[in-house]
Chains A and B, each alone.
Chain A
Amino acid sequence: MEDRYRKWGWGLGIATVTAVTSFGVASWQANAAPSTPSTPGTTSAANTAEQPRVSDPSRVPEAAAGTGSDPLTGSEVDKARAIALTPELAANATDVTGKAGPEYLAADLDTDGTGREAELYFYDYKTGKLHKQVVDLATGKLARSFAATGMQPPASEQEAKVALDLLIADPLSADFKTAYQKATGEQLTGTDGLVPTAHIYTAKPADRGASQCGTSRCVQLIVKTGDGHFINVTDLIVDLSGRKIARLK
C-alpha cells in the first residue's frame, strides 16, 4: 500500500517514508472531514471507474492496555491470566495432559461492565468444571469467579494435539490410517506434520456411541496432512476426559 500512496496520495511528489508515515497518523484526524482522497489532476467524474480509496493508517505497535471496546491486548491477557490462575486453581485442577493446573481455553472482553474486564476460561479435567474468572484490568484484582459442569467451549490447540495423539494410539484409528495412506501414498508413522482441527462434540439425546460427551469433554477431529489433504474422522469421538475413543453408531 505504501507504493500506492507514493503514487496516488501525494500529488506534490514528496514520496518519502516520513511523508507516508505522517499521512497514516494524520489520517485519523483528517478523515473526519468529508473529503475523499482523489487522484490529483483529475476530476472526480473521471475517477468513477476506479475503486475509491480508504485511509490506510500506519502500523503502530499494540498498546499495553486498550480503551473502551478495544480487544484485549496481549499484555492485558498476560496480566489477567496471572491473576485469574489462583494458587488454589493451580494446585487442585489438572489440564488435558494430566499435569497440575487447569487447561487454559480463552480470554474475552467483558462488554457489559463500566470498566474493562477480562473473562478468562479454564477447564479442570479433574472435576469436569469450566471456570470463569473475571479480572478487573484497572485494579488488577479478581472480581468474580464462577464454575459449572456440562459446559464445553472450543478446544485449545493443546487439546487438539492431545486428541490426535489419543486417536493415533487407539485401534479404532485403523480407518484413519488407511485414509491417510490412500491420500498421501505413505504409511502414517507419527503425528509430525499433521494439523488437527478439533470441534467440540456434545451428545444430543438421540446420538448413540458417546453419550457421556457434554459432561465429558469430547472432540471430533479434522486432520490436515503435511501435503495439504484433509482426512475426515468425524465418526470417531475423542473423549479427552476419559482418554478414550468412541465410534458414533
Chain B
Amino acid sequence: MRYRKIAGAAALLTAATLSVTAVTAAQAAPAATPCGASAMVKETLPNGTTWQLCWRINDKAGLVLDHVFVATKRYPEQVQVLDSIRLAQLNVPYDTGDTEYNDLTAIGLGSYGLETITGDDCKGGSVRQGSDGGGDPQVRDVLCVSAEPRGLAYRLHEYDWDETTEEQTEKVYSQEGHDLVLRTISKLGWYEYVTEYRLHDDGQISARLGATGDLAPSEYSTADNGWPLGKEAKDYSTMHYHNAFWRVDFNIAGKGGEKVEQFDTTTSGRGSMAAALTTTHKTLGTEGTFTKANQRFWRLVSPTSKNADGHQRSYELALGASDKYEGHPETKPDVTFSQKNLCEKWASDNAADPECPLDIKTVVDFVKDKEKLADPVMWVRVGFHHVPRDEDQSPMPMHWQGFDLVPRDFTEMNPLTPAGREGANGNTSDDGSQG
C-alpha cells in the first residue's frame, strides 16, 4: 500500500538506483559485502550446495536472514533467492477469550527474550556469537548453524542396454540429502520458541517455529475449552493458539519485481479411464489476501531471470497443516501479498513507528487500497491450535508449525543430478510417445 512519507520515498528511490547498478555485479557473484564476516554464514553441504546469507537479531522479530544466495555443484554461480525472511507476528490467544499475547510486538523474540545457546541446543553444530538486538545490545552465543541429514534426497534404479557387450547394465542412484540449519531460541515467560530455517541442498527453504518450555502454569478453565491434566478431571488446561506470521521478500537473481501467480486445479471431466483435471493460473496483479483451497498454490516468478531451458525462475509457496484462528480478520487469510512498503513491518499491531501512519495496523490494512504489485512482499500465516495433553508436562515436547519455499524452474534440472543422469532433461523417449 502507498502512504510512505517523503523521506522514505526518497530513500527507496536511492536504493532502487543503487540496486540497478548492483545487478551486474550480483550476477557474477554476491555483492561484495552485504554484511561483515561475523554476520555472514557461508557453508557448503556434502552434496556440494553452498548457501550464503547474512543474519542478525531484531528485538521484536528475533532471527532475520537477508541476502540469501544459493549455488550448487552443478550450477556453481551464486544466485540470490531472498532479500530477507523473518517472523512478522506471533499471536497467542487463549480459548477462554481472557488472554491474548502478541509475542513479537508486545514483548519481542530478541533482546532479553533471546536465550543464550547452551546444552544440546546446537549439538554437532557451530555456535555463532552476535548482538541480541537489545537497546543495550549484548554480544552472546545466540545462533546455531549446523548441517543435518534429511534422509534420501533421491533414488533411481536405472537399467540400460550396453550396445558393445549386448548386455543389460544397471545402476542404483541413491543419495542422502542435507540441510543447512539456522536456529535461535527465545523465552517468553514459560514458553520457549525455536526459530528455525532449513536451507536444503536441493534449493528448498523451510521456515518453522517450534514451541516447547511449559504450558501456562495458571491458565485453567473448563471442559469446553480446556483439557484435564493432573489427577482425575479437576483442572482443565486452557486450549490456545500459536498463530505465526512470516514476512518473506524475494529477490530472485538480484532482479526483484517478481510476479505473483496463483494456480488452481479442478476436475474438468472424464478421460478414458479416470477423472480429467485441468490446471489454470492467473497473475495476481494487485495487493490482496488469499486462502488455501484444494489443489491451489502460489508462486513468485522472476519476469527476467530464466534457467538454461528458458523457463522463468520461481519459488513456490507450499503450505502444510495450518489451523485458522477466526478471532481476528487478519488471522483468517493464509497468505497476503502486499506491495513492499517500509511502514509495513508487523502482520498485526503494526502501528508502532512514529514515522508511519497510526491506522495501518494489520495485513488487511496493508492491502486495502489494492495497489499494483511491482515488488511483492509475501506474508505467510500458519496457525497451530494447541489442545493440551498429559504429555505436555514437562518440559513440553516440541511442536512445530511452518511452511516450505520450493524452487520451481530455478534450474533446468535437479541441482543434485548425478553425472550419469545429465541427459535426462525433457522428453527423451525415442518415439516421442507419452508414458
Contact = CB atoms under 8 A, between A and B. Distances in A.
A154 B189 contact: no
A107 interface: yes
Contacts of B188: 197
Given A54-B146, A107-B135, A112-B8, A71 B39 contact: yes
Contacts of B111: 106, 154
Interface of A is mostly: loop
Given A68-B34, A69-B56, A197 B107 contact: yes
B37 A248 contact: no
B48 A34 contact: yes
Interface string B77-100: 000000010000000000000110
Nearest to A53: B147
A144 B5 CA distance: 12
B271 interface: no
Contacts, number: 197
Contacts of A77: 135-137
A163 interface: no
B352 A152 contact: yes
Contacts of B76: 34
Contact of B354 (A68, A70, A132): A132
Interface in A55-86: 55-57, 59-60, 62-63, 66-74, 77
Interface stretch (A15-23, A91-99, A228-236): A228-236
B234 to A, nearest CB: 16
A53 B43 CA distance: 9
B354 A147 contact: yes
B25 to A, nearest CB: 14
Interface residues of A, number: 74
Interface string B350-364: 011111001000000
A72 B352 contact: no
Contact of A71 (B57, B107, B176, B342): B57
Given A52-B45, A74-B131, A107-B137, 13 more contacts: A32-B42, A51-B149, A55-B43, A60-B38, A68-B67, A69-B56, A70-B38, A106-B134, A107-B135, A130-B354, A132-B355, A198-B107, A229-B217
10 contacts: A36-B46, A106-B59, A111-B84, A114-B14, A144-B355, A151-B354, A157-B112, A199-B102, A231-B217, A234-B99
